[in-house]
Amino acid sequence: MNSEEFRRHGYEVIDWIADYLEHADRFPVMSRSKPGDIKALIPDSAPEDGEPMETILEDFRRDILPGVTHWNHPRFFAYFPANNSGPSILGEMLSAGLGVNSMLWQTSPAATELEEKVCGWLAELIGLPTGFHGVIQDTASTTTLCALVCAREKATAFAVNSAGPAGLAGAGPLRVYASREAHSSVIKGAKIAGFGSENVVAVDIDENRAMDPADLDTKITADLADGLIPCCVVATVGTTGCTAIDPLATIGPVAKKHGLWLHVDAALAGNAAILPEFRWILDGAEHADSLVLNPHKWLLTNFDCSVYYVRDPDHLERTLSIHPEYLKTGRDREVNNFMDWGIPLGRRFRALKLWFVLRSYGARRLREIISGHITLAQEFAGWIDEAPAWERLAPVPMNTVCFRWKPGGMDEATLNAANQALVHRVNADGTIYLTHTKLDEIFSIRLAVGQRATQREHVVTAWETLQKMAG
């Protein structure tokens, strides 16, 4: 592709994206594709000779688009938000255009230094206590894995890093503590980092579905008595199921008393701490050794952009760094080489899109948007509370409402089946998209408000659609 063609198709693609973002609501939110539909449209082998971009873009529109679920649709209420925005997309395009690999400071000083700065900006915006250092990674799952590996090496004085499981020298297994509402990435990380899923201890939750610090203390003490090695606590600020907030201010001292690593998973809800009235969710963060939040969920920055804060970067580097001759530079003592702050060597220039978003919107507008989402979710919760045939199943501290349809005369098993069928019907209709969880074996519909373009009218449509489909 020569630069003239690139220019022409580039303008065309930007026009397409602009139209898409403006009118995403003309698509069914959840793709109606059946398994295999899209594969059937794609040839089995790559073309031997290049094809015109006109044909490729046409195929994109005709064959690929029907298989897309529209995460940036204003009536997307499923899972958790993964919103984007014009500034973020422009930053992403420049990052792709530069094609930088920011593994070392020297491989693009601007990428490393901008990353340090925007992580600092964000830490200030969410009111993180001083003393944390940030780095951008791909996902919260990866950062939680990093935290678990750091905790493992702290507990074993770096013996597992060098000797593998033999580094434990016959001592009992290392234990990880998280509430049973914690995200599945904790168990996945524990499997990868060699703890084993059986060594992830499910701490009890309270009536708000937040971790019970007294039970945490009891379970750690019991493990010590059994000769096991307590290693890491993962507290969740904003659980995936219903955005429950584990109380860091009381969990922190328990972790400290037993000398455990405290990792805070604030992947979604941490973004809400940019609101002064939600700063409290990070009360006690001063006890944390590490914390993650995902601007790619709720801060208008397109996937992927997960910010990992650590208190002791030297420990992180000592855990993950590897220094082959071909990666040494003359500046290594003066600068941060972010390849040592995460798992992959190669790194994208992600700071650019976050910088574009923070500058283009400004903190005030970002606060208004997040606050608007929370207000809408809470208004929806009010409608559920007032409707006799519906039941709210968990508190709504933020943007996610857990509820069910509960007409009279159905036992629990029938209610679960009826609500499951309702979710299927609603999503097949295509007007809105929402998903479910289980809270104490109760099938719960979840409505999460967090897309950039979502307004009150879209939440009203969600409520009307649910009532119509239930009827």
Q: Could you list the residues that contact ligand PLP (CB under 6 A)?
A: 80, 139-141, 183, 185, 236, 238, 240, 265, 267-268, 294, 306
User: Considering Cα of 26, then 31, then 33, then 34, what sign does the dihedral take?
Assistant: negative
Q: Minimum CB separation from ligand PLP for residue 181, in Å?
A: 9
Distance of closest approach, residue 306 Cβ to ligand PLP, in angstroms:
5
* Nearest residue (CB) to ligand PLP, 267 versus 381: 267
Nearer to ligand PLP by Cβ, of 245 and 422: the residue is 245
* Amino acid found at 134: G
Helix, strand, coil percentages, rounded to 5, for the chain:
50, 15, 35
Of 107 and 209, which has the nearer Cβ to ligand PLP?
A: 209
Which H helix or E strand runs over 121? helix 109-125
Contact between 202 and 362 under an 8 Å Cβ cutoff? The reply is no
Q: Within 232-350, where are the H helices?
A: 248-257, 295-298, 313-320
Query: String of b and e for 343-375 (b: at least 16 CB within 10 Å)?
Result: eeeebbbbbbbbbbbbebbeeeebbebbeebbe
Contact 174, 199 (CB under 8 A): yes
CB of 83 to ligand PLP, least distance (A): 13
Distance of CA 360 to the CA centre of its chain: 22
Nearer to ligand PLP, 274 or 398 (CB): 398
Q: In the bound complex, what is the minimum distance in angstroms from residue 339's beta carbon to ligand PLP?
A: 20
CB nearer to ligand PLP: give 141 or 337. 141
Tokens of residue 140, six digits: 């919260």
Shortest distance (Å) from residue 446 CB to ligand PLP: 11
Q: Which residues pair with 401 in a beta bridge?
A: 447
Taking the C-alpha atoms of residue 234 and residue 200, their distance in angstroms, rounded to an integer, is 10
Q: How far is the CB of 376 from ligand PLP (least distance, A)?
A: 19
Instruction: Please state the closest distance from residue 139 (CB atom) to ligand PLP, in A.
Output: 3
CB 72 within 8 A of CB 61: no
Q: Does the bond joining 304 to the residue before it have cis omega, within 30 degrees of 0?
A: yes
Residue 182 CB, nearest approach to ligand PLP (Å):
8
